[in-house]
A and B are shown apart, each in its own frame.
Chain A
Amino acid sequence: MLAAFAVVVVVFGVVARADAGLVQAGTYVAIFAPAAIGLSVLLGNVNQISVGQAGFFGIGAYAVGYLTVNQGLPFWIAAPAGIVVAAIVGVALGFIALRFRGHYLAMATLAFGLIAVGVFHASPLLGRASGITGIPFPQLGPLTLNGYPAYWAAWIVALGAALLTLIVLRGRAGRAFEAIRNDELAAEAVGVPTRFWKIVAFAYAGALAAAGGAMFAAFLGLVNPDAVGVALSVDFLLMVVLGGGGLVAGALFGAALIGFLNVAGHQYDNWREVVYGGLVIAFVVFAPSGILGAARAPFVRARRAAAAKAARAPSRAEGHGTSFPAVRAPSDEPLRVDGVTKRFAGLIALDDVSFALRAGTLTSIIGPNGAGKTTLFNAICGIGRPSAGRIAIGGVDVTGRRPHRIAALGVGRTFQNARLFDEMTVLENVVAGAPRAHGKDAAANASALLARMGLAHLAGVLAKDLPFGERRRVELARAAASEPWLLLADEPAAGLNGDERRRLHADLAALRDAGTTVLLIEHDMKLVMAISQRVIVLNFGKVIADGDVATVRNDPAVVAAYLGTAS
């Protein structure tokens, strides 16, 4: 797609070389494209809205204006300086984005855009309302980048930005972004540092916008507050929405469309905001995947259907006899929970819970609804710091650590409602399960794991197309992908039929036999009693029984917790 676009750029450049107006229009498109690509990553790949993209564009433009005109520095120093400043400001905005979501984030980024313009407007160094003029054209050796050469220079930058973005999105960063977009909590649970990557996304989007801004100042020779106002942020948003968020080519396409609309509709400038605002609303409502997304949709659908059909073909989908690679916990005590208490506004969810697990054993935690089981799991996984007590994993005190850091120790987790990354394929889900693996290894290991679990035929299926029972197994595969020595499984049998339960039993037993210490929350008592070496019973946040299956089942306190007292 990108190559096709590059061909169009070259052909247009050759054909239109005599028409200065067309060349200029083409240059404009290249100037705005990087900002649109950055925003597309933010919006489409990481699911973070920004209505302040023009602020970063302005930083790049003003950096070039100020440093070249006032400081006499060459463009080649001024532009990178602007990009660095924008990236730093992007980090700051990223920190804000950690605290806000949805429309609050939109407002926060809008405010950032307004503040940026306000600063440009108020600052005497930056020429206040009239901005900076007389910015020299960049010199490249003997060549002055102006007019026709500027077209090529701008497109080299724009296509370079597009290529760089494609490379970034194909690698670890892209996997992290995709995981965050699908399910932040699950992303943390497989070991993706979601905060870090969100901040990276904001910095990256800001840096790309600044690169465009730098070209704007250099090729137009001027910059002023009006040029980098909120209206431009709306333009960027429209480019992304029009082309299709999350698609690099979509952002280029959107930039081209809006660029030429701007030129063609120049005499109707007063109506611009009305029309563009209307277009944003229309696309969000009627074609949220944009023009390119809509054009791709039939192909995507066909591929999905083909993958789903292939998955239905009879295969040796036998999970029995699955074996997992042997793992070893770093200590004899993979998990120690010591006096853990958790209070929520007046309610004690966990009350002085203590136990330690021996390596390579399978333990179940049972208890009536509201007993505190999931709260305990969350505390172990780093979701919600305990009010008191310590948790040690593999001999390391992890109390209060972020979930992704706990996962990175070698801890896998599955969720009560099977939180897969729905927009990713089964293979991509399992690859995401081992976020520290690199490149080809990651895919090869994931494929091998799927084959071992008898799930290879599902590799190309989108997670959201899976039947429920297979969702659960894929989630288990994802958790197993990092070869954890401690696995926490939250109600893995819920919603499974008889066959699926038997297979789950076999999988869990195989993981335990491979040396993984398994901690299970489960309501399916037949499974619990059949598989557990030890059962811990919680009620009202307290451990009321702890022992082998027979002991626990006949404990009067357990019977009372489940059935009430008969008296």
Chain B
Amino acid sequence: MSRLLAIDDLHAGYGAIDVLRGVFLGVDAGEFVAVLGPNGAGKSTLLRTISRYGTSLHGGRIRFDGTDLKQVSTERLVRLGCVHVPEGRQLFGTMSVEDNLRLGAFATNRAALARDLQAMYDRFPQLASRKDQPARTLSGGEQQMLAIGRALMAKPKLLMLDEPSTGLAPQIVEQIFALAGDLTREGTALLVVEQNAYLTLRHAHRAYVLEGGSNALSGTAEELAANPRIKEIYLGGSAG
């Protein structure tokens, strides 16, 4: 069976600079896959390249749900069913919570908008009580919820989260990972980039560890959590 997302020998970066130097990765439908690695390994660049978010593709192939993404714009990718929640969330800060959610459904699914909004408020009760507030007045955790909620309004097959735990208190982070688990059980695949390796490995099915722009390790979450190499990659333990 072909994978939902298949990345082959990807070379990409900013301008002429290669940040990714040969990355291989696959995500199956309904799977929770994590991308780990130290700062500068190319994790965010990987997500940005998939969604054509200001990076340039220098070589290799990305296929999503049978479509080659070479010529696909960010906006069309959303219609294909792949939504990216960028680092820093990038909410529309002056717009209300509800308008942010509505915009999430901009590309798709106009008919069911009211029902989907209600479903989102059921999922995130904190957002319901703040639906008329400007998004920038929410707490960090609520903003992350809203960013994920906005992405879910497009009914993605694959949701990509970039560092969802950054700057959030531990119990909020737990909440977000629990939500991620719920989503995979409902059939949405997840590709999550995280610094926080051990926490992520407790929730993900599989993970890839990047180092210096290419694959260093990959395997099931249990295998990787037990692998001492991961610490060396993060803290520069051994030469290599």
A529 and B239 CA atoms in complex are apart in Å by 10
Is B236 in contact with chain A by the CB < 8 A criterion? yes
Assess the A559–B199 pair: CB atoms within 8 A: no
Chain A at the B interface: SS class: loop
From residue 553 to 567 of chain A, which have CB atoms closer than 8 A to chain B? 553, 558-559, 562-566
Partner of A563, one of B19, B234, B239: B234
Mark contacts of A341-375 with chain B using CB atoms, 8 A cut-off: 1 yes-contact digit, 0 otherwise. 00000010000000000000000000011100000
Query: Which residues on A sit within 8 Å (CB–CB) of B166?
Result: 369-370
B189 to chain A, nearest CB (A): 23
Assess the A563–B230 pair: CB atoms within 8 A: yes
B137 to chain A, nearest CB (A): 10
Partner of B195, one of A526, A540, A562, A566: A562
Most chain A CB within a 10 A radius of its CB, from B39, B163, B198, B225: B39
Partner of B167, one of A347, A559, A563: A347
Query: Which residues on A sit within 8 Å (CB–CB) of B230?
Result: 563
A472 to chain B, nearest CB (A): 11
Is B200 in contact with chain A by the CB < 8 A criterion? yes
Assess the B40–A563 pair: CB atoms within 8 A: no
A65 to chain B, nearest CB (A): 50
B135 to chain A, nearest CB (A): 14
Assess the B167–A525 pair: CB atoms within 8 A: no
Is A468 in contact with chain B by the CB < 8 A criterion? yes
B7 to chain A, nearest CB (A): 21
A468 and B239 CA atoms in complex are apart in Å by 25
- The residue in chain A whose Cβ has the minimal distance to the Cβ of B163 is A369
Query: Which residues on B sit within 8 Å (CB–CB) of A566?
Result: 198, 225
Assess the A468–B197 pair: CB atoms within 8 A: no
Assess the A563–B16 pair: CB atoms within 8 A: no
Partner of A525, one of B16, B200, B234: B234
Mark contacts of A475-494 with chain B using CB atoms, 8 A cut-off: 1 yes-contact digit, 0 otherwise. 00000000000000001001
Query: Which residues on A sit within 8 Å (CB–CB) of B231?
Result: 559, 563
The answer to whether A553 and B17 touch (CB under 8 A), given A564-B200, A565-B199, is no
A528 and B39 CA atoms in complex are apart in Å by 13
From residue 509 to 567 of chain A, which have CB atoms closer than 8 A to chain B? 523-526, 528-529, 540, 553, 558-559, 562-566
Is A467 in contact with chain B by the CB < 8 A criterion? yes
Assess the A526–B239 pair: CB atoms within 8 A: yes
A494 and B225 CA atoms in complex are apart in Å by 27
A546 to chain B, nearest CB (A): 16
Query: Which residues on B sit within 8 Å (CB–CB) of A565?
Result: 198-199
Is A160 in contact with chain B by the CB < 8 A criterion? no
Is A102 in contact with chain B by the CB < 8 A criterion? no
Mark contacts of B202-239 with chain A using CB atoms, 8 A cut-off: 1 yes-contact digit, 0 otherwise. 00000000000000000000000100001100111101
Is A278 in contact with chain B by the CB < 8 A criterion? no
Partner of B197, one of A467, A495, A564: A564
From residue 1 to 40 of chain B, which have CB atoms closer than 8 A to chain A? 13, 15-17, 19, 38-40
The answer to whether A562 and B200 touch (CB under 8 A), given A347-B167, A495-B19, is no
A562 and B40 CA atoms in complex are apart in Å by 13
Query: Which residues on A sit within 8 Å (CB–CB) of B195?
Result: 368-369, 562, 564
Is B94 in contact with chain A by the CB < 8 A criterion? no
A563 and B201 CA atoms in complex are apart in Å by 10
Interface residues on B, range: 20 to 34
- The residue in chain B whose Cβ has the minimal distance to the Cβ of A566 is B198
Most chain A CB within a 10 A radius of its CB, from B198, B199, B235, B237: B235
The answer to whether A495 and B39 touch (CB under 8 A), given A525-B236, A562-B234, A564-B196, is no
Query: Which residues on A sit within 8 Å (CB–CB) of B235?
Result: 525, 529, 553, 558-559, 562
- The residue in chain B whose Cβ has the minimal distance to the Cβ of A349 is B167
Assess the B39–A368 pair: CB atoms within 8 A: yes
The answer to whether A524 and B167 touch (CB under 8 A), given A468-B17, A495-B19, A565-B199, is no
Assess the A529–B236 pair: CB atoms within 8 A: yes
- The residue in chain A whose Cβ has the minimal distance to the Cβ of B237 is A553
B159 to chain A, nearest CB (A): 21
Assess the B239–A523 pair: CB atoms within 8 A: no
Query: Which residues on B sit within 8 Å (CB–CB) of A524?
Result: 40, 236
- The residue in chain B whose Cβ has the minimal distance to the Cβ of A495 is B17
The answer to whether A564 and B237 touch (CB under 8 A), given A495-B19, A523-B40, A559-B231, is no
Most chain B CB within a 10 A radius of its CB, from A369, A370, A494: A369
- The residue in chain B whose Cβ has the minimal distance to the Cβ of A563 is B197
Assess the A523–B225 pair: CB atoms within 8 A: no
Partner of B38, one of A525, A529, A540, A564: A525
B3 to chain A, nearest CB (A): 27
Assess the A369–B39 pair: CB atoms within 8 A: yes
The answer to whether A564 and B40 touch (CB under 8 A), given A468-B16, A553-B235, A558-B235, is no
- The residue in chain A whose Cβ has the minimal distance to the Cβ of B43 is A369
Query: Which residues on B sit within 8 Å (CB–CB) of A525?
Result: 38, 234-236
B201 to chain A, nearest CB (A): 8
B168 to chain A, nearest CB (A): 10
Query: Which residues on A sit within 8 Å (CB–CB) of B17?
Result: 468, 495
B113 to chain A, nearest CB (A): 32
A292 and B40 CA atoms in complex are apart in Å by 44
A551 to chain B, nearest CB (A): 12
A526 and B211 CA atoms in complex are apart in Å by 12
- 10 inter-chain pairs at a CB distance below 8 angstroms, sorted by A residue, are A368-B195, A369-B163, A468-B15, A495-B17, A495-B19, A524-B236, A553-B237, A562-B195, A562-B234, A564-B196
Give B contacts to A, CB under 8 Å. Answer: 13, 15-17, 19, 38-40, 140, 163, 166-167, 195-200, 225, 230-231, 234-237, 239
**For the complex of A and B, 6 pairs with smallest distance between CB atoms:** A525-B236, A564-B196, A564-B198, A523-B39, A523-B40, A564-B199
Give A contacts to B, CB under 8 Å. Answer: 347, 368-370, 467-468, 491, 494-495, 523-526, 528-529, 540, 553, 558-559, 562-566
Question: Beyond the given A525-B236, A562-B234, A564-B195, could you list 10 further A-B residue pairs with CB under 8 A, ordered by the A residue number?
Answer: A369-B163, A370-B167, A524-B40, A526-B236, A528-B236, A540-B167, A558-B235, A563-B231, A564-B196, A564-B200
